[in-house]
């Protein structure tokens, strides 16, 4: 149901998550924050394309199949290998992380979508050179006709220089119309600062809406006129893998379904009302709750999310 302006375009890394356990077993699964967002959008019925980088290898084929199975168009530059994120667990379950990333969009041109209704970027791909410059150029070009959404999804292990990362992230915030950040993101960027106050400060840079997810504390959306909160949905949590990405995807889905797409909506989005914001947040919270109720980054289908809107299905 994406409008004539084009699909939702997600730009960023797709990779394979590798978990090495203390008993010697190894689990592998496709992932990457932007890839998770694209996957969730596809499951929610949106026309979505992911611009990424994958190797011509077994990992790359697995990622492509995973995405296409949920209706995502994959537009990938070809790298020497598909990126991996390896977590090595000790006997207590504590993890150390190692990233093998080959991130660039070099060589891409005519295969890129000509237009988009919304373009989303974030995480490693928006900060890791040399690919970060490619992402910024693409998003700036798309911004002439599309709304821009952004999720920093901070990965401290890859960002040793906090001041440099903060500056880069603030540049992205200024480029975006809707920003979503977690409480943990903001704590790392601005130690000791109140997350809602930090979000309000970001509004001065240009976004119409800044959303902060607060884990079990729910979420808050800040605009120049309002601060709207919703509670978290009560579920039995299996794990939180992909929860933030699902929340982001459901926000984008809500924007599309309410007609908030295209650069022509930029000014109107600044005037969005509290009731509409609450509906957007509530839907995103329900989607994230479904994801955390099962193992791994396994976002809901459209039917599952619609069913969760029933008062008997969820509790706030």
Per-position DSSP letters for 60-100, written without gaps between them: HHHHHHHHHTTTEEEEEEEESS--EEEEEE-TTS-EEEEEE
Nearest CA-CA partner of 158 in 134, 193, 129 = 129
On whether the CB atoms of residues 16 and 39 are closer than 8 A, the answer is no
List, for residues 255-306, the tens digit of each pLDDT value. 999 999 999 999 999 999 999 999 999 999 999 999 989 888 899 999 999 9
User: Is residue 293 a part of any domain in this protein?
Assistant: yes
User: Is residue 136 a part of any domain in this protein?
Assistant: yes
Percent of the chain residues topping a pLDDT of 90: 73
User: Is residue 2 a part of any domain in this protein?
Assistant: no
Q: In sequence order, which residues have a C-beta less than 8 Å from that of residue 129 and are 6 or more positions away?
A: none
User: Is residue 315 a part of any domain in this protein?
Assistant: no
User: Is residue 1 a part of any domain in this protein?
Assistant: no
Question: Which range of residues forms the domain containing residue 12?
Answer: 8-308
List, for residues 54-68, the tens digit of each pLDDT value. 999 999 999 999 999
Q: Is residue 114 very low, low, confident or very high in pLDDT (cuts 50, 70, 90)?
A: confident
Cβ count within 10 A of residue 78 = 13
User: Is residue 39 a part of any domain in this protein?
Assistant: yes
List, for residues 2-21, the tens digit of each pLDDT value. 444 689 999 999 999 888 88
User: Is residue 314 a part of any domain in this protein?
Assistant: no
List, for residues 50-101, the tens digit of each pLDDT value. 999 999 999 999 999 999 999 999 999 999 999 998 878 777 766 677 889 8
Q: Give Cα separations from 42 to 4, 200, 312 (angstroms).
A: 17, 31, 26
What is residue 222's predicted lDDT score, i.e. its pLDDT? 96
From 101-110, 210-219, 257-266, the region with the lowest mean pLDDT? 101-110
What is residue 2's predicted lDDT score, i.e. its pLDDT? 43
How many domains does the chain fold into? 1
Domain CATH for 37? 3.40.1190.20
Per-position DSSP letters for 167-225, written without gaps between them: HHHHHHHHH-SEEEEEHHHHHHHSTT--HHHHHHHHHTTS-SEEEEE-GGG-EEEE-SS
List, for residues 155-169, the tens digit of each pLDDT value. 888 887 999 999 999
Per-position DSSP letters for 111-158, written without gaps between them: TS-S--SEEEEEGGGGTSTTHHHHHHHHHHHHTTTSEEEEE----GGG
C-alpha triplet 56, 57, 59: angle, nearest 5°:
120
What is residue 5's predicted lDDT score, i.e. its pLDDT? 65
List, for residues 132-161, the tens digit of each pLDDT value. 999 999 999 999 999 999 999 998 888 879
3-state secondary structure of 10: strand
């Amino acid at each position: 149901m994406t409008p004539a302006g084009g699909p939702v375009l997600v730009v960023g890394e797709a990779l394979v998550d590798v978990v090495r356990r203390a008993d010697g077993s190894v689990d592998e699964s496709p992932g990457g924050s932007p890839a998770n967002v694209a996957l969730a959008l596809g499951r929610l019925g949106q026309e979505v394309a992911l611009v990424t980088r994958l190797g011509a290898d077994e990992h790359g084929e697995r990622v492509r199949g995973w995405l296409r199975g949920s209706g995502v168009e994959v537009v990938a530059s070809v790298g020497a290998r598909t990126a991996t994120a390896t977590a090595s667990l000790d006997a207590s379950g504590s993890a150390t992380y190692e990233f093998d990333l080959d991130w660039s969009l070099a060589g891409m041109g005519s295969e890129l979508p000509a237009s988009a209704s919304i373009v989303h970027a974030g995480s490693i791909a928006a900060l890791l050179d040399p690919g970060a410059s490619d992402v910024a150029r693409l998003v700036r070009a798309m911004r002439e006709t599309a709304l821009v959404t952004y999720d920093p999804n901070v990965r401290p292990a890859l960002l040793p220089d906090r001041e440099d990362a903060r500056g880069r992230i603030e540049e992205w915030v200024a480029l975006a119309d809707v920003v979503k950040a977690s409480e943990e993101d903001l704590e790392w960027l601005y130690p000791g600062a109140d997350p809602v106050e930090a979000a309000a400060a970001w509004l001065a840079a240009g976004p119409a809406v800044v959303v902060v997810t607060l884990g079990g504390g729910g979420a808050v959306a800040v605009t120049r006129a309002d601060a709207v909160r919703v509670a978290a949905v009560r579920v039995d949590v299996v794990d939180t893998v992909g929860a933030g990405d699902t929340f982001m995807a459901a926000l984008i889905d809500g924007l599309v379904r309410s007609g908030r797409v295209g650069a022509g909506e930029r000014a109107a989005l600044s005037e969005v009302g509290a009731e509409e914001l609450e509906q957007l947040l509530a839907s995103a919270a329900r989607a994230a709750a479904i994801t955390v109720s099962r193992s791994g980054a396994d976002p809901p289908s459209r039917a599952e999310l619609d069913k969760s809107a029933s008062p008997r299905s969820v509790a706030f």
